[in-house]
Amino acid sequence: MTETFDVPTLEGATTLLQRGQPLASAAICGAILAREPRNAIAAHLLGLALKDTGDWDQGEHWLRFSLTLEPQRGEFHANLGNLLRKRRKLMDAESAYREALRRLPGFPPALLGLAQTWVDLGRGAEAEAPCRALLGRDANDAETWETLALALTQQRRTAEAEHAHRRAIALNPGSAVAHHNLGELLVRLERPEAVASLERARSLGGDGYEVAYNLGRAAVNAGDLERAEREFARAVELQPLNPEGQRALASLRFMRGDPAFVRSLSTVVRAHRDHLPLQTLLAELLWHSGELAGAETLLRDVLTRNGSDATVRSTLARVLLDQGRLEDAEAEALEAASTPSDGPGAALNLVTVLIARGRPAEARPFIAAQRQRDPLAAAWLAFEATVARMLGEDRYLELCDYERFVRVFDLPPPPGFGTIAEFNAALSTVLEDRHRFKRQPLDRTVRNGTQTSRSLLSDPDPVIQAAFASFHAAVREYRAGLEVSPDHPLARLRDGGVQFTGAWSVRLQRGGFEVNHYHPGGLVSAAYDVAIPEEDVRDPTLKLGWLTFGEPRYPAPGVGPAHDVEPRAGRLVLFPSYLWHGTHPIHSHVPRLSIAFDVWPGA
């Protein structure tokens, strides 16, 4: 029931606004302004009330008008910042909070709003300081603890972030946002308790897109594919125009063997023909699934209706590359590279085309520019080495001395196992249970096989952990044997600590193989064979199933395979992540089971 006031007053408007009655509050403010058109407080309260009704345009108008009347009011600037942040006008919000703090130094709402805006902008390191300052004044502020948790997450300080999330929840157990954010972090860490946190958020009223999407991710990690599909479908129902959810649902359905895996996305695309991100996503998924003609038709239609776009043209270039139409691919890649874009994707595709067409010298400037931006990026090291090889330069051997940098370790059995065969038998049993999909991921290099979705690094099974203990020992030996100059990329691995940044298992069926690729997530990568089709791999002429190095993803003149390694159950191969590598197909009906992982310098 709405409370009425006989005489419109600012106190009455404030009371109604605090009680969650913004329309009634706005009516009182309007009445006051009718007789006092330059009443700054009434104008400001009207802006706040309109904001709470959802009329953000008018809310912003009246907040700004109040500041023209009384620009010295720091709290006015802070409230404007809150609305601008809600409207995702983040740079304007930052300016408003800074102005509030200039007028009212240390004003807590402005300080917190500024920290939250920096988190929204991905500037977690900057956001940490104001959060610490606020907590120094009031250690029981749940909202500040939650903001700090997000700032720490952006800095990859996950243990501290988890503590901050749990502190926020202890102070405000009814916060659906805090439970969701903790669940999202636990999903990222692939911890099983993520499900409980996200379900708690849902029970507290947080039944939105983010909870459904992250519950889907958590279910994939847990191997509950039925629930994962339900949750992703729920996320797509809530936000059908969100490419993230559409990609997750379509990818999961593809790996589960659903022939109509893009049905949800296709329906939305037909209804929103001008939604460029979704149109491009559908074409990308069709391309990855092998429907090259359909992907090309869709991309050309998008370009006809929307004009040139770097992402669309880059995707089209890759589709044309897969069709072997190098000249057409080059035209699209050149157009994409000349269109302003935020990432290196267009340059990567153009370099790929130029190398495939046998023009390494033209590719070199693009590679040099990207190497300067990201000196350890595997993609640009791979292409730098390929260009050097095509031009007959010494740099190729510096980067790709296969005899020195590709190391083979025939591992002994871990403690508790009599032979490596006994250990691999136990490991095979565990890994087979993790391979629950019917097809490979859409955007990976596996062909005719499956790949685990959850990182094996977080798998608590003792057999898997025993495997990684053995791998760690081999990595230490590999590092100790590195003899490279200080400016060599691998020199970063030689000193200090290392971390495993990813680990997964691949299961190949008859005809299965891995296309040539590099590993963007590591500086050194590994392949460990758990089970192999013995009758295939023993022929040194056919080299079925062998690991091969040196040949790029798309064939280039004079750049064929340069080095091979015979697979053997119990054999670990360590090599620089930037080396092009793949496998020859297997012909046997016996599957090939392996583990791959990446290593990066760090604690």
The residue type at 534: E
Average pLDDT on 425-437 reads 96
Rounded (10°) angle between helices 263-271 and 276-288: 150
Q: How far apart (Å, rounded) are the C-alpha atoms in residues 419 and 570?
A: 10
Average pLDDT on 563-590 reads 96
Q: How far apart (Å, rounded) are the C-alpha atoms in residues 359 and 525?
A: 29
Query: What is the value of pTM for the model shown?
Result: 0.87
The structure tokens listed for 460 are 């608590």
pLDDT at 534: 87
List domains and CATH numbers for the chain.
Answer: 403-601 (2.60.120.620)
pLDDT at 2: 45
pLDDT at 342: 57
The set of long-range contacts for 368-372, using a CB threshold of 8 Å and a minimum separation of 24, is: 370/344
Residue of 172, 115, 168, 176 whose CA lies nearest to 146: 168
3 pLDDT exceeds 50? Answer: no
In this structure, the dihedral spanned by the alpha carbons of residues 485, 486, 489 and 493, taken in order and rounded to 10 degrees, is: 110
Residue of 382, 417, 337 whose CA lies nearest to 562: 382
Average pLDDT on 116-123 reads 97
pLDDT at 341: 64
Rounded to a whole number of angstroms, the distance between the first and last alpha carbons of the chain is 60
Q: What pairs with residue 499 in β-bridges?
A: 600
Q: What pairs with residue 592 in β-bridges?
A: 508
Top-confidence residue, 603 or 377: 377
pLDDT band at 5 (very low <50, low <70, confident <90, very high): very low
- Tens-place pLDDT, residues 47-90: 999 999 999 999 999 999 999 999 999 999 999 999 999 999 99
Q: How far apart (Å, rounded) are the C-alpha atoms in residues 506 and 525?
A: 14
